[in-house]
Amino acid sequence: MNANQSITHHFSVAGHEGYITAGMYEDRTLGEVFVKMAKQGSVVAGLMDTIGTVVSVALQYGVPLQVLVDKFSHVRFEPSGFTGNKDIPIAKSIVDYVFRWLAVKFLTQQGKQEASSPAASFNDNEIGKGSSVPTRQEMATKEALVFQTQADAPPCPDCGSIMVRNGACYKCLNCGATSGCS
């Protein structure tokens, strides 16, 4: 791995700032990932550093980036929220942001589209037929509604993501599992 070939990206998810450094092979394919959070010594910083190491080892042992992106994009836990990145305006977690950013930078067009399309997007009627970019106020209103309707939702027994009410049941938007249905 050539140390001169890397990209460092500053990001913020709901005010939690960090840096993703992606080291590349000479052919510009991803070879290693470092994720540093602004608050050193915090649990989030330690976990993100560990995730970067795990991803690096997985890539170096031949796990395709697409597999990692498919597995870790759209995982939902705190902190989550606005990012300021036009390609990824809202992240469901810092892990979600990291893997969607990696998809945008290193995957084919199809891989990028799969990562950028939210598993739990609002339908087109809710935000102006999908042709215009929603305003911050519209997104804040939608985000507040989503969090409010999920206040009593349990975690998914399969993947741990927060489930959403689906009639009398709960449905996991991350893996598709259901709970509480007869």
Alpha-carbon span 117 to 108, nearest angstrom? 14
pLDDT, one tens digit per residue, over 80-103 is: 899 989 999 999 999 999 999 999
Asked whether residue 141 is assigned to any structural domain, the reply reads: no
Q: Sheet containing 164-166: which strands, arranged edge to edge? A: 164-166, 169-171, 178-179
In the chain the first and final C-alpha atoms are separated, in Å, by: 54
- The parent domain of residue 170 ranges over 151-182
Number of domains in the chain: 2
Q: Could you tell me the pLDDT band of residue 50, with boundaries at 50, 70 and 90?
A: very high
CA distances for 24 relative to 6, 27, 35, 105, angstroms: 6, 8, 15, 11
Asked whether residue 124 is assigned to any structural domain, the reply reads: no
**What pLDDT score does 181 carry?**
72
Asked whether residue 90 is assigned to any structural domain, the reply reads: yes
- Cα 8 to chain centroid, rounded: 18
pLDDT mean across residues, the chain = 79
User: Are residues 3 and 89 part of one domain?
Assistant: yes
Which of residues 118, 139, 169 is at a domain's end? 118
**What pLDDT score does 170 carry?**
79
**For residue 57, is pLDDT > 80?**
yes
